[in-house]
């Protein structure tokens, strides 16, 4: 795992900072753990665009990743692989009964290491345990919000959360955003940090690499006409001329809080924007 820069043989190469993929040990995925992945182009079931700037991109197949980690027994890591559907690496693990599964690869694990799940497994990188059985200060990822549903938080490259305290059936977690949140102590979490830490330092270098990922160009609102966008119009270059940035439909953008789930407010002790 690392980064590489290129000699400026072209304008696109000049600014590229790419992954060297040296941590990848297998180039082809496990066929039994693949599923088809259909592109939507940002359109819903009525054919209308609901997410702009999507379309094209390289064809992908989905890797069936085990976020639940409910299978007991130890498993051996067979390979560390690239997954086009996520920023983290995935690890192919082989259980003693011959079953193969993909898991989100923790940082630091290598081929031949063993991982396990359960309440009495060691607190070592890659092992999954209920939050209530982990010592305070433990670094975790792939954290469940609802017991048995599978990991939903801290799954992207380099993500890591920390166990802060245990109290009356709940565990206090500090999330990567800085938010402090209570979760049920019987929710599973995986010990360690997610792999591919250098992902945040990559630079695509040219627009074509973004197109390969399925993203189409974005036009600035200030470059549009006043009929097309609230920021548009005016002679030469002008400010947006309003109390705050807006979406093309006149709604507040950039920083507008959109959280609506009042049922879980009581579990959040500190908001991410209160740091």
Q: Is residue 106 part of a domain?
A: yes
Q: Is residue 66 part of a domain?
A: yes
pTM above 0.85, yes or no: yes
Q: Is residue 7 part of a domain?
A: yes
Q: Is residue 245 part of a domain?
A: no
Q: Is residue 146 part of a domain?
A: yes
pLDDT in tens, 42-51: 999 999 999 9
Residues with Cβ within 8 Å of 37's Cβ and at least 6 positions away in sequence, in order, are 60, 61, 62, 85
CATH number, domain with residue 80:
2.40.50.140
Structural domain boundaries, residue 46: 3-200
Q: Is residue 236 part of a domain?
A: no
pLDDT in tens, 61-97: 999 999 999 998 899 999 999 999 999 999 999 999 9
pLDDT in tens, 132-185: 999 999 999 999 999 999 999 999 999 999 999 999 999 999 999 999 999 999
Between the CA of residue 82 and those of 85, 183, 253, what are the distances in Å? 9, 31, 34
Total domain count, the chain: 1
Q: What's the token pair of residue 218?
A: 């974005």
Q: Is residue 80 part of a domain?
A: yes
Q: Is residue 93 part of a domain?
A: yes
Q: Is 109 exposed, middle or buried (0-12, 13-18, 19+ CB in 10 A)?
A: buried
Q: How much of the chain exceeds pLDDT 90, in percent?
A: 93
Residues with Cβ within 8 Å of 45's Cβ and at least 6 positions away in sequence, in order, are none
Helices marked H in the chain? 11-14, 207-212
Please provide the distance, in angstroms rounded to a whole number, between the alpha carbons at the two ends of the chain.
31
Buried b (16+ CB within 10 A) or exposed e, 57-68: beeeeebebbbb
């Amino acid at each position: 795992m690392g980064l590489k820069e290129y000699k400026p043989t072209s304008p696109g190469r000049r600014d590229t900072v790419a992954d060297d993929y040296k941590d990848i040990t297998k180039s082809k995925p496990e066929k039994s753990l693949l599923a088809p992945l259909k592109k939507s182009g940002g359109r819903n079931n009525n054919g209308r665009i609901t997410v702009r700037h999507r379309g094209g991109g390289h064809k992908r197949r989905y890797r069936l990743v085990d976020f639940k980690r409910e299978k007991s027994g130890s498993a051996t890591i067979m390979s560390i692989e690239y997954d086009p559907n996520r920023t983290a690496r995935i690890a192919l693990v082989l259980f003693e009964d011959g079953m193969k599964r993909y898991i989100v690869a923790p940082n630091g694990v290598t081929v031949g290491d063993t991982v396990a799940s359960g309440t009495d497994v060691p607190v070592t990188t890659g092992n999954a345990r209920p939050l209530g059985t982990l010592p305070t200060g433990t670094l975790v990822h792939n954290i469940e919000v609802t017991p048995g549903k599978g990991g939903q938080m801290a799954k992207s490259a380099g993500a890591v959360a920390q166990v802060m305290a245990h109290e009356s059936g709940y565990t206090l977690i500090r999330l990567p955003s800085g938010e402090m949140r209570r979760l049920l102590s019987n929710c599973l979490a995986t010990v360690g940090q997610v792999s591919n830490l250098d992902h945040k330092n990559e630079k695509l270098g040219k627009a074509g690499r973004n197109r390969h990922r399925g993203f189409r160009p974005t036009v600035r609102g200030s470059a549009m006409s006043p009929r097309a966008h609230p920021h548009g119009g005016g002679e030469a270059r002008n400010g947006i001329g309003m109390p705050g940035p807006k979406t093309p439909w006149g709604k507040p953008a950039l920083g507008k809080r959109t959280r609506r789930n009042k049922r879980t407010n009581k579990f959040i002790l500190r908001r991410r924007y209160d740091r």
